[in-house]
Amino acid sequence: MRVDLHGLTFEVPKVLFYLWSPWRCLELEHRLFEAVRKVAGIKLEENGDEKRLIAEDERQWKAAHQALVRVLKGWQEDPPPGAERRQWCWIMEGDVNAAGYDVTGQPACLWVLVKTLVERGGPHDGEKGEELDLEGFGIQLPGNG
């Protein structure tokens, strides 16, 4: 299946959406996971503290991506008036050795994570930004191998 992420195109067999340790996750991470869970045809797998959603066709990916962006834009535009400014971005990462495996011995893949920034106060308040990587929610684009 073809995955288009803001002009970057990947051929992958499926896309996996993870929620790790749900009892430790932020509300925003739960909202992201639940938005993807509502997409038609998405499969849910639970394994202990880990939940995983599987999208196996392009329509599911597109619907899931739109749902994620909608949740993130809603979060960005919903702070208390005048109290803070919110921003978010996708972080893409992966590692692979010469044999095609990552540091844990799994086949190479690309991870898409979310980073948030919350700025509080006015222009003369000095250091005011708080960056937070959403470590409880992640998207895996596995290789074809």
DSSP output for 15-54: EEEEEESGGG--HHHHHHHHHHHTSTT-EEEEETTEEEEE
Q: At what angle do helices 58-76 and 27-37 cross, to 10 degrees?
A: 150
Query: In whole angstroms, what is the distance from residue 2 CA to residue 13 CA?
Result: 9
**Averaged pLDDT of the chain:** 90
Among residues of the chain, what percentage have pLDDT more than 90? 64
Beta bridge partners, 43, equal: 54
- pLDDT grade for 145, boundaries at 50, 70 and 90: low
Is the predicted pLDDT of residue 82 greater than 80, yes or no?
no
Helices (H) and strands (E) in the chain, counts: 2, 9
User: What tens digit of pLDDT does each residue of 44-80 get?
Assistant: 999 988 999 999 999 999 999 999 999 999 999 987 7
